Structure 1
């Protein structure tokens, strides 16, 4: 039974949050209680007299189920660094068991949870674990967000291979047209579609370039067992 997905990306700053919000918006048309989760956020902004993750705020806005921050964003770290470095600066250590427990508590209240990772697939969380270990521990199908810019073909191919080599289900990928001036954008997209289809990975969403991102403007095709 479909309970959610884990969203990763080809790099930092390529649109994982936007891609996650696109999926939440589409899933909300089929499920009543849809919620986004940002297990680890590094880099906070001022919010309502305190501090919050901009990514977590965007996920909350796209969710239909409202939950306490300790469930949808259990670890918030002030510095915009790799999670293991941001945690060390904050005097903390990221533990997978803690994040899995928070996810399970959240999932028990929701129909679908869209979990957004931080950085890329191999971003370190502590001395032993990487983001890939968190995805494996949660046991969710993975969605890869590809930011369409120079270098994306290599990054997408490497990421897809690493996810599948881990034995996890790569349920689909999202194309984010983040660079309106990218040369040969359609040719790059065509190569990605061919390569991903060859790996058995469908295109779930095509997000147009937008000065002001709107998740509702993406073209989305969800797997039949997600609806």
Structure 2
């Protein structure tokens, strides 16, 4: 499936680096400017069990950030209870990922919105099925990729390896966000940004720690405000060529 719709695919150098935080910030910043952007988290692991079945926290966060009424079943068609890679969850007895279902949900969302932000799960090499990994999901949509990484020690290697693998799989990258996921700053952060810029020639944004971690509404608002006016948002707006309704 190659779509002519506009969109962005957000991936990370691993789990817990801040993909959902950054994805929510981007889509809320777009909404604040009057742009129409849908969201999708095709696959989510580690879902809580609720009265209505598995509850995909990341997908619900994106739905809230985008201020959408789209059904959560479209935003997140494939979910797992086990907090492991999708293929690992399947090996533990959970249902396999349905590629046709993901494609159909994306088609429906694309018909409703001018653009789509899609968030992957984990990093690009995370196995989805025995024969597929997350890079193939990114390739399925054909959107430019935004790479999110932690900002501290070790991130240079993680970023460069992720970029190298993604390019080998035919993906194009629009930029990198180095997210400070803990309150304590790492002494390597300034040099990390400088070196990654030199090595990649991509826009690199340093994203500061957000303190209001327990209040999703506050986190969404604060993180979106940090993005507005940043050169990375200019890259995203140029890429999407969206028309403001405001």
Superposition TM-score, scaled by structure 2 size: 0.83
Residue of structure 2 in register with 1:44 after alignment: 47
Instruction: Indicate yes or no: 2:173 matched with 1:170.
Output: yes
Aligned residues of 1:36 and 1:72 also touching (Cα < 8 A): yes
Residues 7-22 of structure 1 aligned to structure 2 (within 5 Å): 7-22=10-25
Look up the SS of the partner of 2:132 in the other structure: coil
Instruction: Indicate yes or no: 2:73 matched with 1:70.
Output: yes
Flag the 1:110–1:48 CA change in 2: closer, same or farther, 3 A. Answer: farther
Residue of structure 2 in register with 1:121 after alignment: 124
C-alpha distance in 2, partners of 1:55/1:144?
Answer: 17
Per mean C-alpha deviation after superposition, the further-off stretch among 134-143 and 47-56 is 47-56
Residues 74-89 of structure 1 aligned to structure 2 (within 5 Å): 74-89=77-92
Aligned residues of 2:178 and 2:207 also touching (Cα < 8 A): yes
Instruction: Indicate yes or no: 2:242 matched with 1:225.
Output: no
Q: Stretches of 4+ moved more than 4 A in 1?
A: 46-50
C-alpha distance in 2, partners of 1:78/1:133?
Answer: 22
C-alpha distance in 2, partners of 1:30/1:161?
Answer: 34
Aligned residues of 1:3 and 1:112 also touching (Cα < 8 A): yes
Aligned residues of 1:77 and 1:90 also touching (Cα < 8 A): no
C-alpha distance in 1, partners of 2:224/2:119?
Answer: 18
- Larger helix percent: 2
Structure 1 position 146, deviation (Å)? 1.4
Q: Which runs of 5+ in 2 are unaligned?
A: 214-218
Structure 1 position 51, deviation (Å)? 3.8
RMSD: 2.0
Instruction: Indicate yes or no: 2:61 matched with 1:53.
Output: no
